Amino acid sequence: MSDGPIKIAIVAGEESGDLLGADLISALARKTGRNIKLIGVGGSHLEALGLKSAFNVDDIALMGLGAVLKKLPKLILHIHRLARFIADEKPDCLIIIDSPDFTHRVAKKVRKFAPQIPIIKYIAPSVWAWRPERAKAMCSYIDHVLVVLPFEKKVMHDLQGPPATYVGHRLLTYPPLLAMERMRLRHLEEKKSEPTVVVLPGSRHFEIRGLMPIFGATLEILKKRQPAINFVLPTLPRLADSVRKLMSEWPVKVEIVVGEEAKWAAFAKADAALAASGTVSLELALANIPMVLGYKADLFSKTFILPRVKVWSAALPNIIADRPVVPEYFNEFLRPGMLARQVEQLVVAGPVRQAQLDGFSLIKTTMKTSAPSGEIASQALLKYLKLQ
């Protein structure tokens, strides 16, 4: 390989995946001292590193087969065009992150069009939760998997999947989170009597539409039971208008903050959280914010996917700790009265709050790595780039 730029194809379909990809690419640039030329699809963080997305990343920020089927014609076109483009560009490797219903199909086509291109999967599909046969099937089009949960490397091995490296999670050494912890200490020293609850209804439009009415009713009950309580709702710029519209009829006042920096500032002041089940639950656990989780699946997922799920919990903190740490409620069990009373127990010191904090300490110990995740991930990538 020459001393010129390293050409990386990357496909990241979620906000969390975009952050992971940007972290990996930044670490790779530092480690190799080379310029990185990016092609593919990603969000604002990868675009800040020079990626010009082939199409709007929202087109693939989908969760579950129900959402995928609604956009199937456009997705099929995107899959074919993107795979053909990547194959023709002959990058040094392809990295696919999250959104497996889309990214795996792209990877299969790239492997068919250009079998010489190494393909790396960042974040393993949840084969430990459902459809374990996917692990072995990945061997035909995935060369290596970078896993972010400590038990996933063994799972991949046991299920005869591709080679895997546990890289840890970027949040463990994420500067904004570490800065938030310092802000939180200062906030606790200046703590007033009014508790604050951070409200996180999700990062996808369908999540927000499903959870916002329930979360709004929950906050109304909380405010009646605890009149001094405050609420803050962090959201992404692309979702802010939708969130404001859905909140317009809420009977309680909620402060909306927009952007990554504002989110961590809100976390620093938070005593507890009411959140959509997902990646944010791990962020909250690592930030030591006790939480109550909820999720509302669409009809297709409820009918065809949930009956096949084998995992005992959907909450990442619970799965990593291997014991119930945070309460979670789904679909018809999302009762505002129950959610409100659960959150109410978390905003004050006591055994319920302390049990979660103890669980968070266990999670941090279990996930600890010898280096930041981006550094470990970039090291695993080197042999596929023929730089070693």
114-129, pLDDT tens digit by residue?
999 999 999 998 898 8
Instruction: Reply yes or no on whether the pLDDT at 80 is more than 90.
Output: yes
What does the pLDDT average to over 19-23?
93
Asked if the structure places residue 122 within a domain, the reply is yes
Asked if the structure places residue 55 within a domain, the reply is yes
Question: Which domain, by its residues, includes 336?
Answer: 173-367
Q: Are residues 200 and 324 in the same domain?
A: yes
Number of domains composing the chain:
2
pLDDT tens profile 246-255: 999 899 999 9
Asked if the structure places residue 277 within a domain, the reply is yes
Q: Are residues 189 and 328 in the same domain?
A: yes
Q: Are residues 44 and 131 in the same domain?
A: yes
Q: Are residues 290 and 305 in the same domain?
A: yes
What are the backbone angles phi and psi of residue 337, rounded to the nearest 5°?
-65, -40
- Rounded distance, CA 86 to CA 95, Å? 11
Query: What is the band of 183 on the pLDDT scale with cuts at 50, 70, 90?
Result: confident
Q: Are residues 298 and 361 in the same domain?
A: yes
- Give me the pLDDT at residue 16, please: 80
- Smallest CA-to-CA distance from 374 within 13, 12, 22 is with 22
What are the backbone angles phi and psi of residue 39, rounded to the nearest 5°?
-135, 160
- Give me the pLDDT at residue 297, please: 83
Q: Are residues 284 and 148 in the same domain?
A: no
Q: Are residues 257 and 346 in the same domain?
A: yes
Q: Are residues 177 and 156 in the same domain?
A: no
- Give me the pLDDT at residue 1, please: 44
Query: What is the band of 193 on the pLDDT scale with cuts at 50, 70, 90?
Result: low
DSSP codes, 265-309:
HHHHH-SEEEEESSHHHHHHHHTT--EEEEE---HHIIIIIGGG-
- Give me the pLDDT at residue 65, please: 53
Q: Are residues 64 and 212 in the same domain?
A: no
Long-range contacts of 257-262 (CB under 8 A, 24+ apart): 257/232, 257/233, 258/234, 260/176, 261/176, 262/234
Mean pLDDT of the chain: 91
Q: Give the CATH number, domain containing residue 348.
A: 3.40.50.2000
Q: Are residues 374 and 363 in the same domain?
A: no
DSSP codes, 307-340:
GG---S-S-HHHHHHTS--S-EEEGGG--HHHHH
- The CA-based angle 305-306-310, given to 5 degrees, is 105
pLDDT tens profile 130-160: 889 999 999 999 999 999 999 999 999 999 9
Asked if the structure places residue 387 within a domain, the reply is no
- Give me the pLDDT at residue 182, please: 85
pLDDT tens profile 198-237: 999 998 888 899 999 999 999 999 999 999 999 999 999 9
Q: Are residues 133 and 88 in the same domain?
A: yes
Query: What is the band of 174 on the pLDDT scale with cuts at 50, 70, 90?
Result: confident
- Smallest CA-to-CA distance from 369 within 69, 223, 169, 183 is with 169
Q: Are residues 120 and 233 in the same domain?
A: no
What does the pLDDT average to over 18-31?
94
What does the pLDDT average to over 333-359?
97
- Give me the pLDDT at residue 196, please: 96
Tell if the pTM clears 0.85, that is, is over it: no
Asked if the structure places residue 388 within a domain, the reply is no
What does the pLDDT average to over 370-384?
94
- Give me the pLDDT at residue 137, please: 97
Asked if the structure places residue 328 within a domain, the reply is yes
